[in-house]
Amino acid sequence: MITLYVLGSGSRGNCCAVESEGMALLIDAGFSAREVERRADAAGLELGRVAGIVLTHEHGDHACGAPLLSRRLHVPVLTAPGTWRHLASGMDEAEHRQLGLCAGVELGPFTIEACPTSHDAAEPLAIVVRGSEGASVGVAYDLGRPTTAVRYLLRNLTAIVLEANHDEVQLRTSEYPPVVQRRIAGSAGHLSNRAAAELLAELHHPGLRAVVLAHLSEQCNTAAEARATVAPALRRAGFRGTLHVADQDRPLAPILVVQRAGIQLGLAL
Ligand SMILES: [Zn+2]
Ligand SMILES: [Zn+2]
């Protein structure tokens, strides 16, 4: 079982955590250390249990709290090599562990797997964390487009945190200049609600228990719009789990990610 904490998500900061067997991992630390501490406290996550900080990429909304948090918590920072080259000079003496693209990295009860994403950062990753009893959580945001590698990484998971950044009509009619609109909608930008719905319908399998829509644009999306686009697609695919929408300003209630009895995930598929 894994407990998933979504402490906040959006262009002003992203941070979630997984906890299993009394240990936890932060996945991105895109708020100040103090804000992560405040939100963890509000959500009931004990930061003293954190064994490492996984960063998807170096952008401030994913990494700004990592230097101070890694120092305060005395934990390693896990990133792709290219991400670390961007961050290392500001990380003091933080221990770095490289996320491998071939083999999973083990830390406490967790195995962390990763794959490259299409986004305008040095070496951005989507992340999967496997915990005890077969439960698994994928985190994928800042996805320009869902590549084959991302689709492969996110298959057969118990829970998925996936970007649903913008409503395509709201983006086209927004006050963003055309060049910015093209960057957001482009293959190195962000996933729309419709693209997220299509990807989730494709990734759906009977063991998928929870979906969290994340990294919503404040200018070009609303929680209601994202849910209204994704929920019918998931329903049509046969989804029986829970659908959540991450909030920029406050943590969600902790989500219990439990593999359903009788479903063998990741075996012979
Ligand atoms: Zn980014
Ligand atoms: Zn971002």
* C-alpha of residue 153 to centroid of ligand 1, in Å: 19
Q: Is the pLDDT of residue 139 over 50?
A: yes
Nearest to 11 by CA among 23, 28, 25: 28
The β-bridge relationship of strands 159-163 and 2-8 is unpaired
Q: What is the pLDDT of residues 31-47, one digit of tens each?
A: 999 999 999 999 999 99
Sign of the Cα pseudo-torsion (42, 45, 48, 50, in order):
negative
The number of the ligand nearest the C-alpha atom of 62 reads 2
Ligand nearest to the CA of 28: 2
258 alpha carbon – ligand 2 mean position (Å): 28
**Mean pLDDT, residues 61-67 taken together:** 96
Q: What is the pLDDT of residue 266?
A: 36
Averaged pLDDT of the chain: 92
The pLDDT value recorded for residue 101 is: 80
Give 142 Cα–ligand 1 centroid separation in angstroms: 5
Distance of CA 176 to the CA centre of its chain: 25
Q: What is the pLDDT of residue 261?
A: 64
String of DSSP letters for 76-111: -EEE-HHHHHHHGGGSTT--EEEPPSSSPEEETTEE
Q: How far, in Å, from the CA of 189 to the mean position of ligand 2?
A: 9
Distance 207 CA to ligand 1 centre (A): 29
Distance 10 CA to ligand 2 centre (A): 7
Q: What is the pTM of this model?
A: 0.94
- Give distance in angstroms: CA of 131 to centre of ligand 1: 26
β-pairing, 23-27 vs 15-20, is antiparallel
Interhelix angle 223-237/193-203, rounded to 10 degrees, is 30
Rounded average pLDDT over 55-65: 97
Ligand that lies nearest to the alpha carbon of residue 189, given by its number in the listed order:
1
